[in-house]
Amino acid sequence: MKIAVVGATGMVGEVMLKVLAERNFIGATDELILVASERSVGKEIAFNGKNYTVVGLQTAVDLKADIALFSAGGETSLEWAPKFAAAGTTVIDNSSAWRMDPTKKLIVPEINADQLTADDKIIANPNCSTIQMVLVLAPLHRKYNIKRVIVSTYQSITGTGVKAVQQLENEYAGVQGDMAYKYPIHRNAIPQCDSFEENGYTKEEMKLVRETKKILSDNTIAVTATAVRVPVVGGHSEAVNVEFSNDFDLSEVRSILHQTDGVVLQDNIDAFTYPMPLYAEGKDAVFVGRIRRDESQENTLNMWIVADNLRKGAATNTIQIAEYLVANKLV
C-alpha cells in the first residue's frame, strides 16, 4: 500500500508519524509519502530508521496513494482532498472542512466505523474535544437515552499549535515573543477557543454541538458548550453534565464505561484517583472519572473526561479509521 501523510511537518503530522510507527501500520512492503506545503518540500524526515524527502501536494496526488491522512488545515483540505479522491485515494481528513458535509461520514471508529463503505473517498475525523466526549456518551446514550448535554472544556494549548506552545514557554521564561493568543496564557484561562460565530458561541463550542448529534445519529440531543483555553500541554479536560430520559444506577454506569473500548475508568475518590491531562499525555485512551449523580435534577449525571488531544483527539483516531478500512478491505 501507499500511505500519504499530508501536513507531515506540523504538530499533528509529527504525532501521526509517531502513532503510525507505534501501531506498525506501515509494513516493510508499504510505501510512505510525506507531504507538506511548498516551503517544506525537500526537507528530510526520519521514520523507522529511514529518511524520507517531503514532497508537494501535486506530486503526492500524482503518486496515487491508497490512503492519505490529512492534517494540513481546512483550506488545504477543501482544495486538495477532492483532487486526491479523484485520483483514487481515500482521504481521512483531520480538519473541520468536511465534518458537517451531509455527504461525508464523521467517524469515531469505536462508535460508527460500520457506516463506512468503499465509496467513501473523503472521511472526516471529528474535532478533538468532541471525540473524547462522544466516546464516553455513546454507550450511555444506547442504555439511558441522552436528552441534554452541558459541557465545559479546559483545553490544552497544543490544540492551537506550536506557536501557542512557544508563547507559553516564552511567558514561563519571561521572554517577549510572538503571541498565539490576544492575552497571556501563563497563569490565565482564556474563554475563547477559535473565532466567534454570530450566536456568540465560538466555533469550537458549536463543533461540540453539531458533531455530537451527527456522530450519535440523533438530532434530538440538546447540547450546549463553553470552551476555555488553559495553560496545559498534556490534553483536553471536560466537565460534562448529562440528562437522560431514563434513570440510571451509578455502579451500572461505571460498569458500562469500564467495558467500553477506548475508555479507561479512573474513578476512586477514596484513593484520589481521577483523570488528569498530566497523565493522559502520550496515551490513546479517553479517561473518565468523578462520576456522580447531579443532585439538583432527576436522571442527570456529572463526569470528568480527559484525553490527549493530539492522539485520540487527532492522530490516533485518524489512523484507527485507516486501520478499519484496511482490515475490512475498503481500500
* Residue 229 marked in a binding site: yes
**CATH label of the domain that carries residue 237:** 3.30.360.10
Contacts of 195 (CB under 8 A, 6+ apart): 202, 203
Place of cell 446514550: 141
- Residue 119 pLDDT: 98
Instruction: Tell me: do 29 and 52 sit in the same domain.
Output: yes
Instruction: Tell me: do 57 and 110 sit in the same domain.
Output: yes
Instruction: Tell me: do 197 and 143 sit in the same domain.
Output: yes
- Residue 291 pLDDT: 98
Instruction: Tell me: do 110 and 148 sit in the same domain.
Output: no
- Residue 174 pLDDT: 96
* Residue 263 marked in a binding site: no
* Residue 9 marked in a binding site: yes
| Separation of alpha carbons 326 and 280, rounded Å | 28
- CA geometry: angle at 205 spanning 20 and 157, to 5°? 50
Q: What is the CA radius of gyration of the chain?
A: 20
Give yes or no for a contact between 205 and 225, defined as CB atoms under 8 angstroms apart. yes
- Residue 273 pLDDT: 98
Which residues does the chain have with pLDDT short of 50?
none
Secondary structure (DSSP) of 257-303: HHTSTTEEE--BGGGTB---HHHHTT--SEEEEEEEE-TTSTTEEEE
- Residue 282 pLDDT: 97
| Separation of alpha carbons 123 and 297, rounded Å | 39
Q: Is residue 236 annotated as part of the catalytic site, yes or no?
A: yes
- Residue 327 pLDDT: 97
Per the residue annotation, which of 128, 141, 186, 258 is the catalytic one?
128
SS3 201: coil
Can you name the residues that pair with 241 across neighbouring β-strands?
150, 302
Instruction: Tell me: do 145 and 272 sit in the same domain.
Output: yes
Contacts of 27 (CB under 8 A, 6+ apart): 1
Instruction: Tell me: do 109 and 205 sit in the same domain.
Output: no
**Number of Cβ within a 10 Å radius of residue 83:** 15
The total domain count for the chain is: 2
- Residue 265 pLDDT: 98
Per the residue annotation, which of 186, 193, 236, 258 is the catalytic one?
236
Three cell numbers at 145?
Answer: 437515552
User: Which residue segment(s) compose the domain that 114 sits in?
Assistant: 2-125+314-327
Instruction: Tell me: do 274 and 141 sit in the same domain.
Output: yes
* Residue 210 marked in a binding site: no
| Separation of alpha carbons 157 and 233, rounded Å | 6
- Residue 329 pLDDT: 97
Instruction: Tell me: do 35 and 52 sit in the same domain.
Output: yes
Alpha-carbon torsion (313, 321, 89, 212), positive or negative: negative
Instruction: Tell me: do 178 and 231 sit in the same domain.
Output: yes
Residue 230: burial class (beta carbons within 10 Å; 0-12, 13-18, 19+): middle
- Residue 46 pLDDT: 95
Alpha carbon of residue 216 to chain centroid = 16
Q: Is residue 193 annotated as part of the catalytic site, yes or no?
A: no
- Residue 322 pLDDT: 98
- Residue 233 pLDDT: 95
**CATH label of the domain that carries residue 31:** 3.40.50.720
Instruction: Tell me: do 67 and 121 sit in the same domain.
Output: yes
* Residue 167 marked in a binding site: no
Instruction: Tell me: do 48 and 159 sit in the same domain.
Output: no
Instruction: Tell me: do 179 and 293 sit in the same domain.
Output: yes
* Residue 309 marked in a binding site: yes
